């Protein structure tokens, strides 16, 4: 668990450092090309302050977003501790908690605004940040685990307990 909480601190720190850089380097400037292959633009750096959640939903509802995020983070930490022997689950939940923490820090200390800067150019998509990436990757990995592997893990545990 020490490694998991260290990872949460590290990932949250990386998120906040990137956001600090974005505020200092991108705020007030036009969008910058970041990843491009030939003439194909893939990712730009575009500064945006977001007062809502995904795709601008719940815009202006700072305290509701803080409360919901805090509650989900507490649940994830509780679940991490309860299932600390399941390393994959701990990794997934560590990603979710670190992303939630990175965005809640913004909401609390940047006037309710979350700093976003990653702008996908391949298709029309929301501008997002490193913390959002942590949450999405953690949730996707968790869903894959629950949908495809948890049943197998549960059956192994049941077989192990009936054999002894």
User: Does the annotation mark 132 as catalytic?
Assistant: yes
Q: Which is it for strands 32-37 and 127-128: parallel, antiparallel or unpaired?
A: unpaired
Select which of 51, 116, 119, 163 is catalytic: 116
| Cβ partners under 8 Å of residue 125, min gap 6 | 119
* Residue of 121, 128, 124, 126 whose CA lies nearest to 106: 128
Residue 28 CA: distances (Å) to CA of 24, 78, 128, 155: 9, 41, 17, 56
Under DSSP, is residue 127 helix (H, G, I), strand (E, B) or coil?
Answer: strand
Q: How far apart are CA 125 and CA 44, in angstroms?
A: 12
Tokens coding 153: 């893990």
Catalytic residue positions? 116, 132
């Amino acid at each position: 668990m020490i490694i998991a909480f260290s990872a949460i601190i590290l990932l949250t720190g990386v998120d906040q450092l990137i956001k600090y850089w974005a505020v200092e380097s991108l705020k007030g400037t036009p969008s910058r090309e970041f990843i491009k292959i030939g003439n194909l633009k893939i990712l730009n750096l575009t500064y945006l302050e977001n007062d809502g959640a995904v795709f601008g939903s719940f815009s202006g509802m700072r305290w509701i977003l803080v409360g919901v995020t805090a509650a989900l983070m507490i649940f994830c930490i509780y679940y991490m501790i309860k299932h600390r022997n399941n390393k994959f689950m701990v990794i997934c939940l560590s990603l979710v908690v670190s992303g939630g923490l990175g965005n809640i820090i913004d909401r609390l200390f940047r006037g309710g605004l979350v700093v976003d800067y990653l702008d996908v150019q391949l298709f029309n998509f929301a501008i997002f940040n490193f913390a959002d990436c942590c949450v999405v990757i953690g949730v996707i990995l968790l869903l894959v685990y629950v949908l495809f592997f948890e049943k197998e893990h549960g059956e192994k545990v049941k077989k192990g307990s009936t054999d002894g």
